[in-house]
């Protein structure tokens, strides 16, 4: 399992759409498995679950992303999982790390995007 969190500034809706596009286009086998959005007063929350096939690990793995926004301040956490073939312990996390790297690239692309 690999995890990454960051703070950003921008529109909740724009960021969610941007992230979905970036991650799906970054991998031939990536797909969004489910997504859920809700508000608690002025706080927006989004949960996105992506999945893709790892050629290195020869298995499927997921990337779970939680996005929280208040007054255009975004907190984003991504956790990858499922990239091992072992029964009792993890021996191969290459796919998880690679999927998380795609997420980090998307974050860098968003930071350089002029309209947020």
Q: Using CA atoms, how far apart are residues 49 and 62, in angstroms rounded to an integer?
A: 7
- In this prediction, what percent of the chain has a pLDDT beyond 70? 84
Domain ranges of the chain: 2-90+98-111
Radius of gyration of the chain, Cα coordinates, nearest whole angstrom = 15
Q: Give the SS3 label for residue 60.
A: strand
Which CATH homologous superfamily contains domain 2-90+98-111? Answer: Mog1/PsbP, alpha/beta/alpha sandwich (3.40.1000.10)
Residues 32 and 50: their CA atoms lie apart, in Å, by 4
Instruction: Output the pLDDT for position 116.
Output: 53
Number of H helices, E strands in the chain: 2, 5
> How high is the pLDDT of residue 112?
87
pLDDT in tens, 29-69: 889 999 999 999 999 999 999 998 877 666 788 999 999 99
Whole-angstrom distance, CA of residue 12 vs CA of residue 53: 28
């Amino acid at each position: 399992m690999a995890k990454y969190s960051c703070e950003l500034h921008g529109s909740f809706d724009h960021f969610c759409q941007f992230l979905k596009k970036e991650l799906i286009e970054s991998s031939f086998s990536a797909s969004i498995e489910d997504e859920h959005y809700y508000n608690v007063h002025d706080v927006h929350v989004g949960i996105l679950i992506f999945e893709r096939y790892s050629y290195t690990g020869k298995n499927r793995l997921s990337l779970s992303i939680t996005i929280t926004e208040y007054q255009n301040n975004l907190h984003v956490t991504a956790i990858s999982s499922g990239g091992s073939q072992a029964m009792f312990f993890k021996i191969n996390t290459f796919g998880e790390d690679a999927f998380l790297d795609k997420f980090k690239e998307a974050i860098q692309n968003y930071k350089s995007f002029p309209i947020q």
